[in-house]
């Protein structure tokens, strides 16, 4: 979202972010990351079901990896802001200050065809995923997860016990 905005063409902006492809830069980054991760023997490989994450997982080219797709790891739902660039979202925020400015943890993106998710909504999904791992006896195992930025923030908030007011 904060990267190269040149790819935000009218055609791309008219499609769901679930169908957006991995960029050439993303492919190069995932291949390079795979070179580093091949030194680690992971017990479980899990990815978001969104196309970009699945392609990232494949491009890691990890031997013997069997990737599980997990809906709980999907990208944050941005509602009416889904197809906007970071700069466009900042411009909207500047023109119409919202609760985002005072407490981003609970802020829901404005309605489009549907409501978006707050970070607390994403944390709830991630917590459900973490609980399921514990119930399935994955404690103390090496788990590789390919997911999206706000989902990673949710993991950090939960696992690092980051206070809500610091988000």
pLDDT tens for each residue of 95-120: 655 554 555 655 666 655 567 888 88
Alpha-helix residue ranges (DSSP H) falling in the chain: 10-13, 24-37, 51-59, 86-95, 99-102, 119-135, 149-159
Q: Could you give the 3-state DSSP secondary structure of residue 146?
A: strand
pLDDT at 16 over 90: no
Give this prediction's pTM. 0.79
Mean of pLDDT over the chain: 82
Q: Could you give the 3-state DSSP secondary structure of residue 166?
A: helix
Measured distance CA(117)–CA(162) in Å, rounded: 19
For residue 84, what pLDDT is reported?
Answer: 73
Size (the chain), residues: 167
pLDDT (tens digit, 9 = 90+) per residue, 42-96? Answer: 999 999 999 999 999 999 999 999 999 999 999 988 777 777 777 776 776 666 5
Distance of CA 102 to the CA centre of its chain: 23
Measured distance CA(28)–CA(117) in Å, rounded: 30
| CA-closest candidate to residue 76, choices 153, 4, 9 | 153
Measured distance CA(117)–CA(81) in Å, rounded: 11
Give the Cβ contact number of residue 45 at 10 Å: 18
CA terminus-to-terminus distance, the chain: 18
């Amino acid at each position: 979202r904060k990267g190269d905005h040149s790819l935000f063409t009218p055609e791309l902006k008219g499609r769901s972010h679930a169908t957006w492809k991995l960029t050439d830069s993303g492919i190069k980054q995932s291949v390079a990351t795979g070179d580093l991760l091949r030194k680690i023997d992971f017990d479980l490989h899990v990815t978001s079901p969104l196309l970009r994450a699945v392609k990232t997982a494949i491009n890691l080219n990890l031997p013997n990896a069997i990737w599980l797709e997990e809906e709980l790891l999907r990208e944050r739902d941005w509602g009416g802001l889904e197809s906007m660039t970071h700069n466009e979202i900042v411009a909207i925020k500047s023109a119409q200050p919202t609760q985002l400015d005072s407490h981003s943890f609970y802020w829901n993106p404005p309605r489009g065809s549907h409501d978006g998710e707050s970070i607390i909504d994403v944390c709830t999904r991630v917590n459900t995923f973490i609980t399921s791992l514990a119930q399935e006896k994955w404690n103390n195992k090496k788990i590789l997860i390919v997911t999206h930025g706000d989902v990673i923030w949710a993991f950090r908030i939960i696992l690092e016990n980051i206070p809500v007011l610091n988000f």
